[in-house]
Structure 1
């Protein structure tokens, strides 16, 4: 079975995605699958074989090598950010009727949009921060924001990952720089109230027909929050499993499952919470969690004693079972 391990992307997260793709290539069962390294980058789409680039035909997602057209049976999607975590690649593969791992194009698009995700989850009584939604060009009243959310608060791009463009605002003097930082990533932003508590990240997957929690990791950042530097440059301590009471652990696990199922998820995911007053408050969900050596999800797989090859096998099986939306 020809498997396209698809990595890269058009955002600053592409570097992390390329590392995630290498982990998949290293762990996929080569007795079952023939993996191909496929890069989706601003510079082009290509399959990389022995450092040689073979362009991908966008009409049918194939490539030609030695006058032979290579077709894929399934795509393993590990693009972080656009176009692989926001639904664009998934919609494209749907039209080609090419099976792909992870959630559908709708769930990908929904969960990549922080505002829309929060809106859906509010119907399911998931605790979360208070927030204000703004677009570039809107009038911004700092005093009104403070009155509604208090200080400190967070400014975030509406659609971005790896904490790119996220700032903590401790005083209104910090706001102009935070807005510039966020608007550099997206034309729409979220301003959220500060949640004081312990931060945890929860890996959740669909496995053998059931929603399964992989593990709970506590994140102890050396910075003000779990930003890009803390995530990828060693400025944090990640403790798996998190040292929680059984009562709080159960509460976190049940909330993480509820989020996963309420959003209609499938595939790998990692959901972040702040535990405030013993209640897990939702921050965000990642539908293509990082799989680089520094990433949390592989730590949780190790903790749950689930080999990555088995998890990938499960993902490919789910991809092959899923029918295009118009054939359901």
Structure 2
């Protein structure tokens, strides 16, 4: 008997359009001989199932069911394709955990932790996982540009602490650029992380649960045409994403070990895609994404393809793992 799969997409953040694209790809590629798939758009003002004719049916948030005419749709599993809040920061995970509905991403604690760059790196640092020197600000804190430069040096990166797709990030070269960069970051979040610039090769490492095992996917090298891997580079063709990465065997071994170690330390499930920069042969972690982009051109699906895993197989495996975990 076919399983009913709700594919949640959209969300409350600046990443909602990217999420809609990811969710549409999941809807397209899941094997429809095995699954009935239902695109669910999650926005602040509405949660709706959108059918193939663009007709909307409200979601009953009490039990995550949908009334479609005389039929009440209930779901065997939720495929989470929401980038940013509330799909990547723990809220949807906690909601489905309370309803006892399996979902494909990590648990609510892991999602909340990894979505907070400052907390993630602080938790992993005692385990020997390296990260850049950083300086933290919360909205309303006094800003001392001299103290920031003394701590992290120049150039540096000013980032919104809880945002994805490089929204709210600026590379700062001069002290006078700090205040505008901080203002920009505060448009995305009320917490900021300012990090020292690391000069080295940037790579992205996908780690997934696949057929019951933790699997590190082939590593992707990021070569941005812009000054760094910003929104244009990620989504508007201003970068090369080379899989497998042109790195040395020792670099490949080290970064794969660190990415899997972080996944295991955090007791992750579902997909993760972690970003690193090499300083010599040592990988320094930048962040971990737990709902990475899922279009055919996105990094994690390309890594899976190089590993011999097609989109249909990749997405089906996530559902199989979610159903296995709840048993």
Is TM more than 0.5 here?
yes
Give the match for residue 234 of structure 2.
231
Alignment partners' CA distance in 2, 1:265 and 1:114: 16
Task: Say yes or no: does 1:88 pair with 2:87.
Answer: no
Q: Calculate the TM-score normalised by the size of structure 1.
A: 0.96
Shift of 1:321: 2.3
Alignment partners' CA distance in 2, 1:95 and 1:241: 40
Shift of 1:89: 0.6
Q: In structure 1, which of residues 76, 80, 85 is the aligned counterpart of residue 79 of structure 2? A: 76
Q: How many residues align?
A: 324
Give the match for residue 13 of structure 1.
15
Shift of 1:84: 0.3
Alignment partners' CA distance in 1, 2:45 and 2:18: 17
Shift of 1:209: 3.0
Is the CA contact (8 Å cut-off) linking 1:232 and 1:294 kept in structure 2? no
Q: In structure 2, which of residues 296, 301, 304 is the aligned counterpart of residue 298 of structure 1? A: 301
| SS of the residue 1:177 aligns to | helix
Q: How does 1:1-328 map to 2 (within 5 A)?
A: 1-49=3-51, 50-323=53-326
Alignment partners' CA distance in 1, 2:54 and 2:151: 54
| SS of the residue 1:267 aligns to | coil
Runs (5+) with no aligned partner, structure 1: none
Shift of 1:210: 2.3
Runs (5+) with no aligned partner, structure 2: none
Shift of 1:214: 1.2
| SS of the residue 1:292 aligns to | coil
Alignment partners' CA distance in 1, 2:195 and 2:61: 39
Shift of 1:43: 3.5
| SS of the residue 1:119 aligns to | helix
Is the CA contact (8 Å cut-off) linking 2:250 and 2:281 kept in structure 1? no
| SS of the residue 2:82 aligns to | coil
Is the CA contact (8 Å cut-off) linking 1:231 and 1:294 kept in structure 2? no
| SS of the residue 2:219 aligns to | strand
Shift of 1:250: 0.9
| SS of the residue 2:319 aligns to | helix
4+ residue segments displaced more than 2 Å = 321-324
- Root-mean-square deviation over aligned CA pairs: 1.1
Alignment partners' CA distance in 2, 1:267 and 1:134: 31
Is the CA contact (8 Å cut-off) linking 2:8 and 2:41 kept in structure 1? yes
